[in-house]
A and B are shown apart, each in its own frame.
Chain A
Amino acid sequence: MMATTPGTIRIDNQEIPFTPGQTIMDAALAAGVYIPHLCHYPGLTPSGNCRLCIVETGNRSVAACITPAVAGQEIRSNTPELNAARTTITQMLFVEGNHICPSCEKTGNCKLQALAYHLGMLDDHFPQFYQRRELDASHPDILLDRSRCILCDLCVRASREADNKNVFAIAGRGTNAHLTVNSPSGKLADSAIAATDLAATVCPVGAIMIKEQGYQTPIGQRIYDRRTIRETGLQEHIDKKNDD
């Protein structure tokens, strides 16, 4: 039920105010409480895809990014059980794609990698899929490496809602799900995307990258060399609020 008046919720015994329409995630981030997430991005419609933000309220497990805050909710987030589940999800994301951090140009700037560090993930646990998905380098400025896509849907929403272009979509089901490009040839070069679009830069992993920019930032100055994913997650929310 959507709250119509301001109220408070409790996350891990911390009382947090919310305004009508806010999700648990929005209220938490606004109050400086970090809930791990990959597919949430301030300003884009939440989708609940990655399930990293799963929290418990009552006897239910819900995704914090798509669940409205309701006055009086008692929410558990930072518990050993939930963090173990988040670690398992992260491990599954790692093995399902080709996330070879040592040579990936996104390393140090990658949310998936940073989240793995945040959760204390020490190994992949599951066997690697070693899947082969099409790499699209047809665009002069943008590279699409589907083998690194985690199907978070952020590029889909960014293109539709922020760029007003509708360049991307997720097609297929289950293990056949994949990112498609809305163009006559199915190639990025024939789409409307531009390097300045949010869809070209919002990818949390190394699936959509600006070409020839890799490794330009020295080690020690990359995003997650300087700040934790908790700090950047909270900062993204503040930045969006300031923009608004």
Chain B
Amino acid sequence: MEPDKKSPAIRRIAIDPVTRVEGHGKITLLLDDNNHIVEARFHVVEFRGFEKFIQGRPYWEVPFIVQRLCGICPVSHQLAAAKAVDQIVGVRQLTPTATKLRRLLHFGQILQSHALHFFHLSSPDFLFGFGSDPVQRNIAGVLQQFPEIALKGVKLRKYGQQIIEAITGKRIHGTGTVPGGMNKSLTPPERDALLSDIGNILQWSREALALNEQIHTGHPEHRDFATLRSHYLSLTGTDGELEFYHGGLRARAADGNTIFDQFDYCDYRQILREEVRPWSYMKFPYLSALGIEQGWYRVGPLARINNCDFISTPLAEAARQRFKAFGHNGLVHDTLAYHWARMIELLHCAESIHTLLIDADITGTELAAGKGAHRSQGIGVIEAPRGTLFHHYQVNEEGLVTKANLIVSTTGNNQAMNESVRAVANRYLDGHEITEALLNRLEVAVRAYDPCLSCATHALGKMPLQVTLQDTTGKVIHQLTKGTNGALFS
């Protein structure tokens, strides 16, 4: 990498790409002569272009094009786009069955995604230690050393995918939503099959929560790992409850004060702006009232648990109260507490799935609401597993998309990931020595937020990793490469 021409006294360390993160990420650390990190840049180097290439396509195609953004949370994109399409066809209220099917689908999606996020991608770091042998620090190693934990994680994810398959026809990239409703109900045999496993799912979710609670409260060093005092953004329900599918926007400042509450997401452009920086394809959203420097925020499980006033299901609510007590009833800013918050949500999903499966409406036959006058735009916002997801489409009178704006969950945490990477690098980077353990600590910080940068599909843990340290003249001081087999070589 070339020395920074504007600041020749600054060196760069590039970590390229980041592993156990879906999609290609690259970290560049800008060092001054005193080996202080002056800036951390978390690049997303893939350009997806969905906002552009759906222009000119009919609106009813959109949910099924944009769900291809992601292989982990396609349902979230389908549902956000479907909500926007509902507005376009003039549907304000879905039928009870369609609403509950969409909610069940979304709970299944978050359950499987949260299980994947923790068990498959992040648990190796916590069970083996951040600096442990990389050969075993992966899901295969967890299966070998902690088979009971790993298998429960795999089965939790499987159950979420079975819900998705029952409703959309496929575990990944199915159909399901149609303008103003759903195309299929849950059949009684499908419901009964899912109900037969719900006892185990509830139990395993409780155990997953207990494990994460124990990990975070039992390791004081986790408290300030990559920790940031930040603002938080999420949807909440009308009574302030934890809400994933539909609600108003709430933002809290780092001190816990409310910035806005129950804000209609259709007016999101009044409160949010996005900044473009030349070194990343991922934009930087911020709360416009607070400006670029102060307005960045965090989204996702930590934001949602910090923001909500209560959770509607008893076990998850009890867990939330323990979480709040841990934070002395203030906001919890620990970045690694994302995983704890994630498992509280996992348990809420399991409880909510149980409630919906025994609801008679879930096998109802009223699937589509009557359509109203078509509108020229639709805005759908939901809480995806990794945070608040905005889909905004404008269509012409022929039904073709003329403009699209997507603010995906990962984007919401963009600045936070940069800040957390900088915090970790400043603490653990020692002079000119780059170690695999250091690299993984940086990745641990990123993985707390998001294992999913582009939703491209790569083999877990197989991506090569190269780090190069150069001085101000561009001379390579040290280089470390991780091959596809996990072996390190200089």
Q: Which of B65, B170, B400 contacts A137 (CB 8 A)?
A: B400
Q: How far is the CA of A22 from the CA of B347 in the complex (A)?
A: 67
The smallest beta-carbon distance between B369 and chain A, in angstroms, is 14
Closest to A215 in B: B175
Closest to A209 in B: B58
The smallest beta-carbon distance between B35 and chain A, in angstroms, is 48
Chain B residues, Cβ within 8 Å of A138: 398
Chain A residues, Cβ within 8 Å of B400: 135, 137
Give the number of residues in A that approach B within 8 Å (Cβ atoms).
16
Tell whether A137 pairs with B398 under 8 Å between CB atoms, given A218-B184, A219-B169.
yes
Q: Is the CB of A211 within 8 A of B399?
A: yes
Q: Is the CB of B58 within 8 A of A103?
A: no
Q: Is the CB of B175 within 8 A of A218?
A: yes
The smallest beta-carbon distance between B425 and chain A, in angstroms, is 39
Q: Is the CB of A212 within 8 A of B169?
A: no
Q: How far is the CA of A131 from the CA of B167 in the complex (A)?
A: 35
Q: Is the CB of A137 within 8 A of B58?
A: yes
B258 at interface, CB cutoff 8 A: no
B68 at interface, CB cutoff 8 A: yes
Chain A residues, Cβ within 8 Å of B61: 103, 105, 214
Interface residues of A in 89-111 (CB under 8 A from B): 102-103, 105
Chain B residues, Cβ within 8 Å of A79: none
Q: Is the CB of B58 within 8 A of A219?
A: no
B468 at interface, CB cutoff 8 A: no
The smallest beta-carbon distance between A141 and chain B, in angstroms, is 11
Q: How far is the CA of A240 from the CA of B285 in the complex (A)?
A: 59
The smallest beta-carbon distance between B455 and chain A, in angstroms, is 13
Interface residues of A in 57-110 (CB under 8 A from B): 102-103, 105
Interface residues of B in 144-194 (CB under 8 A from A): 168-170, 173-179, 183-184
Chain B residues, Cβ within 8 Å of A102: 64, 68, 173
B56 at interface, CB cutoff 8 A: yes
Closest to B176 in A: A218
Q: Is the CB of A212 within 8 A of B183?
A: no
Q: How far is the CA of A143 from the CA of B56 in the complex (A)?
A: 12
Which of A102, A138, A216, A220 has the most chain B CB within a 10 Å cutoff? Answer: A216
Interface residues of A: mostly helix, strand, loop or mixed? Answer: loop
A128 at interface, CB cutoff 8 A: no
Closest to B63 in A: A215
Q: How far is the CA of A217 from the CA of B63 in the complex (A)?
A: 15
Q: Which of A135, A137, A219 contacts B175 (CB 8 A)?
A: A219
Chain B residues, Cβ within 8 Å of A137: 58, 398-400
Interface residues of B in 38-69 (CB under 8 A from A): 56, 58, 60-61, 63-65, 68
Q: How far is the CA of A4 from the CA of B60 in the complex (A)?
A: 53
Tell whether A103 pairs with B175 under 8 Å between CB atoms, given A212-B60, A218-B169.
no
Chain A residues, Cβ within 8 Å of B170: 219
Q: Is the CB of B58 within 8 A of A215?
A: no
Tell whether A218 pairs with B183 under 8 Å between CB atoms, given A103-B64, A103-B65.
yes
Chain B residues, Cβ within 8 Å of A219: 168-170, 174-175
Q: Which of A143, A216, A218, A220 contacts B58 (CB 8 A)?
A: A143
Q: Is the CB of A215 within 8 A of B65?
A: no
Q: Is the CB of A215 within 8 A of B399?
A: no
Q: How far is the CA of A135 from the CA of B61 in the complex (A)?
A: 14
Q: How far is the CA of A88 from the CA of B81 in the complex (A)?
A: 37
Q: Is the CB of B399 within 8 A of A216?
A: no
Interface residues of A in 164-217 (CB under 8 A from B): 211-212, 214-217
Chain B residues, Cβ within 8 Å of A211: 58, 60, 399
Closest to B54 in A: A103
Chain A residues, Cβ within 8 Å of B398: 137-138
Chain A residues, Cβ within 8 Å of B183: 215-218
Q: How far is the CA of A138 from the CA of B396 in the complex (A)?
A: 11
Chain A residues, Cβ within 8 Å of B168: 219
| Given contact pairs A105-B60, A143-B58, a sample of 20 additional A-B residue pairs in the complex whose CB atoms are under 8 Å apart | A102-B64, A102-B173, A103-B61, A103-B68, A105-B64, A135-B56, A137-B398, A138-B398, A211-B58, A211-B399, A214-B58, A214-B64, A215-B63, A215-B64, A216-B178, A218-B169, A218-B175, A218-B183, A218-B184, A220-B169
